[in-house]
């Protein structure tokens, strides 16, 4: 009975010890048998980083924080344990940062050349680096508490500004502001219309430009064709002939221009007499239109016209009678 | 009135003196290894191994309830993987040691007090003294050593079972994945969580066994006295567990 009790108790204790040790290692993610290198990192403050916090490289856990202690000259030194086989950056640095909003912290191993673009972090890293020994420089990002405190200060400032604005803006100011906003709205509408018009115009201009561009392209095409023809003509000697013809035509045109210039000079010389002729014609026409003068009276007086016609008719009858009876009117006598 | 208070105070001081005297006897009896060492294994089995079923039963349901309560509390604001954190921390730091301690205060403390009280009222203890046996080395030390050493064992297994029950409840009732639960479990884990709970359990075992033995050996008045001292042992053990729980929280955390 006693022996059996001892075996049962011993087995129970053994199982418990195994469970506790295995569970502890499993929960702490400690890798048995894996050797690890320990590096020192120097911080001005480690924030929420603690012993056992994970050490990560590019998001992958590569170790744990083994110890944290206060160092000389107000530095905090952390022992960073990194598993064997992990390839570290050439110039490693450590940034302690929150893993989430719930107080979890981790130590990020980064390359010093690729430090975050944060002036505080860079300043901390440079200060730690300036100490000059083998310890990795370390910096700490603000945690959610600090960010919240900063946000609280900003909110307080905004509240103060809001209260001052509320003090400054009485009902009259609000009315004026509303009027200004309405004016601004009208201006914006006008600008919008103007912009629309300009847009249309620009559209037309663009269209015209496009057409012009097409014409130019066509002209260029034609010019290219002409040049090709010129090139061909040059090869057959036709260009020289065309140029000769062109020169001859130009000479003829020049002569014609000389003749035309002489004609114009003669015309300019006869211009005074022509003007007088026109003025006389104009006077004559005026008098005709006014019914003055012989022709004017003749044109405007119907009685005279009738009498003239009657006289002409009688003259025709007289001539006919003279032809028929010449002796009636003419008498020849010799002596 | 003053007489009553004086009598009570005198009674407390007297009880304290008897307890001190008892502790002194037990401490002196530790040197009699030949007497108590051979009896300890039996007591370890009775106090520790046979207490495992009730400890496992308590921790299973505690783990399930913790998972459900934490998910109920965390809804919306806190990520659900914190269920693992809550279950792990609560089981290791507080609930496994205290609940198992309270349960064993009833089971072990009452058993020791009743057994020794019966021996006392039936004059078996007097017989041991007559036969030149040190009753403390023969009766008390094996029980105290067994309780002190086996309580951490029982509590450690209760921690593991409780976290396992919380994990099963999380994946079956809360649709929480195993990686998420483990992530939460590992989130703020420190080895201190484990040994803090085990140290508390050890202290609980020591106190429960000492109180049970002291109450049992100081029993007077037959069966009624046995019942009275047994009840007193359980009550005092439960109170001392809570006092010690607060004490360790102040000292170690």
**Interface TM-score (ipTM) > 0.95:** no
pLDDT of residue A166: 73
Contact B103, B55 (CB under 8 A): yes
- List b or e across A49-69, with b for residues whose CB sees 16 or more CB atoms inside 10 angstroms: beebbbbbbeeeebbbbbebe
CA distances in angstroms from A145 to A47, A48, A101, A223, B126, listed in the order given? 11, 11, 9, 77, 67
B191 to A24: CB separation less than 8 angstroms, yes or no: yes
B198 to A12: CB separation less than 8 angstroms, yes or no: no
Q: Give the residue, B42 or A215, on which the prediction is more confident.
A: B42
Q: What would the pLDDT profile of B111-144 be if each residue is shown by its tens digit?
A: 999 999 999 999 999 998 899 888 999 999 999 9
pLDDT of residue A169: 65
Q: Give the residue, A318 or B63, on which the prediction is more confident.
A: B63
pLDDT of residue A333: 60
Q: What would the pLDDT profile of A244-283 be if each residue is shown by its tens digit?
A: 887 888 888 888 888 888 877 877 777 777 777 778 778 8
Answer yes or no: is pLDDT of A311 > 80. Answer: yes
How far away is chain B from the Cα of A147, in angstroms, using its nearest Cα? 19
Q: How confident is the model at residue A235 (pLDDT cuts 50, 70, 90)?
A: low
pLDDT of residue B175: 81
Q: Give the residue, B88 or A269, on which the prediction is more confident.
A: B88
How is chain A split into domains, by residue range? 34-142, 171-312
Which overall architecture, per CATH, does domain A171-312 show? Orthogonal Bundle (1.10)
Helix, strand, or coil (residue B41): helix
Cα B45 to Cα B38: distance, rounded to the nearest angstrom: 13
pLDDT of residue B20: 92
A30 touches chain B (CB under 8 A): no
| DSSP-assigned letters across all residues of B207-250 | HHHHHHHHHHHT--SHHHHHHHHHHHHHHHHHHHHHHHHHHHHH
Name the residue among A6, A15, A29 with its Cβ closest to that of B186: A29
pLDDT of residue B139: 93
Instruction: Determine the average pLDDT of the residues in A295-311.
Output: 75
A102 to B79: CB separation less than 8 angstroms, yes or no: yes
A102 to B78: CB separation less than 8 angstroms, yes or no: yes
CB neighbours of A175 closer than 8 A, spacing ≥ 6? none
B153 to A13: CB separation less than 8 angstroms, yes or no: yes
Of B138, B238, B164, B157, give the one whose Cα is nearest residue B198.
Answer: B157
Q: How far is CA A112 from the centre of its chain?
A: 40
Cα A186 to Cα A180: distance, rounded to the nearest angstrom: 10
pLDDT of residue A68: 92
Instruction: Mark which residues 79-138 of A lie under 8 Å from B by CB.
Output: 100, 102-104
Q: What would the pLDDT profile of B219-242 be if each residue is shown by its tens digit?
A: 998 899 999 999 999 999 999 999
Q: How confident is the model at residue A236 (pLDDT cuts 50, 70, 90)?
A: low
A-chain CB neighbours of B42 within 8 Å are 1-2, 5
A12 to B153: CB separation less than 8 angstroms, yes or no: yes
A20 to B194: CB separation less than 8 angstroms, yes or no: yes
A-chain CB neighbours of B190 within 8 Å are 28, 51-52
Instruction: Determine the average pLDDT of the residues in B85-114.
Output: 94
Q: What would the pLDDT profile of B140-180 be if each residue is shown by its tens digit?
A: 999 999 999 999 999 999 999 999 999 999 999 888 899 98
Per cent of chain B over pLDDT 90 is 74
pLDDT of residue B215: 94
A102 to B42: CB separation less than 8 angstroms, yes or no: no
CA angle (B90 as vertex; B85, B92 as ends), nearest 5: 100
pLDDT of residue A30: 74
pLDDT of residue B240: 95
Of A17, A67, A11, give the one whose Cα is nearest residue A41.
Answer: A67
Q: How confident is the model at residue A307 (pLDDT cuts 50, 70, 90)?
A: confident
pTM, full prediction: 0.61
Answer yes or no: is pLDDT of A335 > 70. Answer: no
Answer yes or no: is pLDDT of A82 > 60. Answer: yes
How far away is chain B from the Cα of A149, in angstroms, using its nearest Cα? 20
Q: Which of A97-106, A116-125, B22-31 has the highest mean pLDDT?
A: B22-31
Q: What would the two tokens of residue B149 be?
A: 């050493």
Q: Which of A35-44, A226-235, A285-294 has the highest mean pLDDT?
A: A35-44
Answer yes or no: is pLDDT of B89 > 70. Answer: yes
B-chain CB neighbours of A22 within 8 Å are none
Task: Of A68-82, A132-146, B83-97, give the lowest mean pLDDT range.
Answer: A132-146
């Amino acid at each position: 009975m006693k022996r059996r009790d001892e075996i049962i108790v011993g087995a129970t204790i053994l199982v418990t010890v195994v469970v506790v040790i295995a569970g502890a290692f499993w929960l702490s993610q400690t890798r048995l048998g894996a050797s690890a290198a320990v590096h020192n990192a120097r911080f001005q403050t480690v924030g929420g980083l603690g012993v056992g916090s994970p050490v990560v490289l590019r998001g992958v856990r590569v170790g744990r924080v083994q110890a944290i202690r206060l160092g000389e000259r107000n530095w905090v030194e952390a022992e960073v344990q990194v598993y064997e086989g992990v390839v570290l950056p050439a110039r490693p640095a450590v940034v302690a940062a929150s893993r989430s909003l719930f107080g979890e912290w981790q130590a990020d191993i980064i390359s010093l050349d690729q430090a975050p673009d944060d002036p505080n972090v860079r300043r901390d890293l440079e200060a730690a680096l300036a100490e000059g020994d083998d310890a990795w420089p370390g910096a700490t990002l603000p945690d959610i508490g600090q960010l919240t405190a900063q946000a609280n200060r900003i909110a307080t400032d905004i509240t103060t500004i809001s209260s001052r604005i509320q003090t400054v803006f009485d009902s009259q100011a609000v009315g004026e502001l509303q009027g200004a906003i309405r004016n601004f709205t009208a201006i914006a509408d006008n600008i919008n219309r103007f912009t629309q018009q300009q847009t249309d115009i620009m559209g037309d201009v663009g269209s015209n430009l496009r057409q012009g561009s097409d014409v130019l392209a066509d002209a260029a095409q034609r010019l290219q064709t002409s040049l090709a023809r010129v090139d061909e003509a040059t090869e057959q000697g036709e260009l020289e002939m065309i140029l000769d013809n062109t020169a001859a035509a130009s000479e003829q045109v020049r002569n014609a221009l000389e003749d035309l210039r002489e004609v114009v000079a003669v015309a300019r010389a006869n211009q005074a007499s022509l003007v007088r002729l026109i003025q006389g014609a104009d006077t004559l026409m005026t008098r005709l239109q006014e019914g003055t003068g012989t022709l004017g009276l003749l044109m405007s007086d119907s009685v005279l016209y009738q009498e003239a016609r009657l006289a002409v008719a009688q003259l025709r009858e007289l001539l006919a009678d003279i032809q028929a009876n010449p002796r009636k009117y003419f008498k020849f006598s010799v002596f | 009135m003053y007489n009553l208070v004086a009598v009570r105070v005198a009674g407390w001081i007297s009880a304290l003196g008897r307890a001190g005297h008892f502790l002194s006897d037990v401490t002196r009896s530790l040197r009699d290894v030949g007497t108590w060492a051979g009896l300890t294994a039996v007591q370890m089995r009775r106090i520790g191994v046979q207490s495992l079923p009730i400890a496992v039963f308590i921790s299973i349901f505690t783990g399930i309830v913790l998972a459900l309560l934490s998910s109920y509390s965390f809804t919306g604001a806190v990520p659900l993987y914190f269920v693992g954190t809550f279950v792990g921390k609560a089981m290791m730091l507080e609930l496994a040691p205290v609940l198992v301690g309270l349960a064993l205060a009833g089971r072990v403390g009452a058993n020791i007090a009743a057994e020794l009280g019966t021996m006392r009222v039936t004059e078996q203890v007097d017989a041991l003294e007559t036969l030149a046996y040190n009753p403390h080395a023969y009766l008390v030390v094996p029980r105290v050593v067994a309780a002190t050493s086996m309580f951490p064992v029982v509590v450690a297994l209760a921690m593991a079972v409780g976290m396992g029950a919380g994990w099963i409840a999380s994946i079956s009732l809360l649709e929480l994945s195993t990686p998420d639960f483990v992530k939460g479990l590992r989130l703020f884990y420190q080895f201190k969580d484990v040994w803090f709970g085990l140290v508390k359990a050890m202290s609980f075992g020591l106190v429960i066994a000492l109180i049970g033995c002291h109450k049992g050996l100081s029993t007077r008045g037959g069966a009624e006295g046995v019942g009275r001292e047994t009840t007193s042992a359980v009550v005092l053990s439960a109170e001392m567990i809570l006092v010690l729980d607060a004490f360790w929280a102040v000292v170690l955390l």
